[in-house]
Structure 1
Amino acid sequence: MSEETASSPSLTKKKSLGWMEWMRGWSSVFGEILFQRITASHLQNPLPLPPVNDLTCIVTGSTSGIGRETARQLAEAGAHVVMAVRNTKAAQELIQQWQNEWSGRGLPLNIEAMELDLLSLDSVARFADAWNARLGPLHVLINNAGIFAMGEAQKFSEDGYEQHMQVNHLAPSLLSVLLLPSLIRGSPSRVINVNSVMHSVGFVDPDDMNVVSGSRKYSSVVGYSSSKLAQIMFSSVLFKKLPLETGVSVMCLSPGVVLTNVARDLPRFLQFLYALIPYFIFSSQEGCRSTLFSATDPQIPEYWETLKNDDWPVCPFISQDCRPANPSEESHNTETAQRVWEKTLEMVGLPLDAVEKLIEGEKVQCRYGAQEE
């Protein structure tokens, strides 16, 4: 490599996926659709869980779909479950329903609801403040909530960020960092990010996270897949920054292609096609298995430690068949991942040394919420 090339990284800045990467990405997507039932045929439904009576778990987006099944099954297995949701009334109604159905089968479910709106970074910071103020342990944070506004025009949050990028990446990243004090108290603990095979066709430009520069044409697929790739990249840097002694593991997973409320956003003709292939599509109960596995399997910390010791460039990734998997080639781009990390912290209002400070027990200032108090 010449000195001129080495000193001018901008000359070789990647602007998109190569066509081979793009083809491999879509092959992964369609392969998961066509073969997920076969590859996951060894799994029971529902997935049997080990004893979880000592676990406290926060599950975002838990009033519908995968999150709803995850919260219910963890609660029925004995965990203390916190439903972190926008609509707390709907969550309370669900809790009452589950309690009634569970009546007579054991102790009442240990489950509660707290307000969390991922389209508001203020809400995320306030939630983290309220939880950390309890000074109790957090054993599992499940960043499940997400959106895929298929076919819709580009929209932005109240914070000025593209909605997919905020809900699927920025807000969960802020939540994960701000909850580190509670996660460290709960060590060994886990941060579980419900990702998607769609990250395989994603591309992230850290200088254009909102996809507004014009260098790429926005579509809902671009917004969604980019946000999921950004989540893996951020998680990979967090994975490297958390020392083994913290006992906090971070990972991403694919739930498979699942029949959830995403279908509501499909055009009518696509909803019809979606309904024609029920054999290939997981139910929410099937789709939550990789989440439950990642949250409870006793071998996960050992797997995380092995990857840490091997200096693996990406965070652990669990496939829809509850087996370790390797995310996309682009997710291994450590230079871009570092830039995504720095840009993300800037966008969510945290200093670059936030993680290091929180590990040391220091407080950090966040631009959002009421942290200055």
Structure 2
Amino acid sequence: MRSTPVERTRAQLLTVARAGLDTPTFVAATLETVARAVPFSAACLATTDPATRLVTSAFKAGTMSSVDAAEDARWAFHEYVADDLYDYRDLLTREGAVMTTHVETHGDPLRSSRFENFFQPTWSVTDELRSAATADGDLWAFLALFRDENGRTRTFNEAEMEFVSSIATTVARGVRASLVTTLVAAGPGGVATGAGPGVLLVDAAGEVLSANGEAHDRIAALGGGSLGSTPLPMPVQSVVNAAQRFGRGQEHWAPRVRMRTVSGRWVVVSASPMTSFGAGVPSTTAVTVEDAGATDVLPLVVAAHGLTGREREVVRLVLRGVSTAEIGRALHLSAYTVQDHLKAVFDKVGVRSRRELAARVFAEEYVPRMGAGGSPGASGFFA
């Protein structure tokens, strides 16, 4: 029995997802293949950080392929800040994790602020189809397809929605695999947004004995001067002192501290006492300074505002788009208690809503990395 065109397209997408392509190549091949089953005038495949479900990169095709930074900023505003009928996070509450503007607005797309004030006047868009690409419980990407006034068909139909929904897991696994491929292809240091880890060797008096090349830039970014001729920045020296106490048995843990650079980026500073094997060899401490990952950034984003442990748990779930009722069930709290925690969080952080909270994290932790040309690594966050 001969396969249908839709079945062949699914099979082709599965082949693309398993081909070990880097992320840009995988996305281009995926969009080209999808277009055979679901024609579009423009498309965007945005990778996400599974830890927060915030966008880490966006690849565009068709009439949106030349989107500039200003238009990206407008998209972020409408997605994370402005109130609208729906956003990407609502996808996970829809059947099949797929939606269209035509369906969400009951045939009146101008009910959507994003559509009325951005998509329609900028690109003459008549409909948008969105899908969440998840695999093994994690969200790895969003796929958005657009149609405009020049197309033969101006809206997406139910069969097209079902098709896109059916390929979402394949797309997610392809994105996940492509991030690993991209990281490996980049060689030592991967696709980091800046320098690699800085490594220093410090003596008992706090003097730097040796350091790799990246350490100079890392220490300077933390407000330090020239290595070897000026003291280490106070926060870094504090980590060294804690490591020395750990070596003497006065502490129960080797320090691993997250701190911000002068420019506001999060880094992790860790230190460990080194064992000396020769007689008379002085004791030393190894110090490493590297970019913070998503699991390092998120606790600090909220801790910087003095949130309690419970408030941090609430924020973690809010960023993932979890509803108040679901947060209550997950944390064994009543809806009223969750609302009280949210009010306290908003007051401390200086925002008024869940959307503003997500926008704050996106603007402070993701946009700078994306703007610097950073690419997400194998974990979904920036390598």
With the shorter chain as reference, the TM-score category is under 0.3
Normalising to structure 1: TM-score of the pair?
0.23
Query: Of the two, which has the highest radius of gyration?
Result: 2
Q: Could you say which structure has the greater relative contact order, defined with CA pairs below 8 angstroms and 6 or more residues apart?
A: 1
Normalising to structure 2: TM-score of the pair?
0.22
Larger strand share, 1 or 2: 2
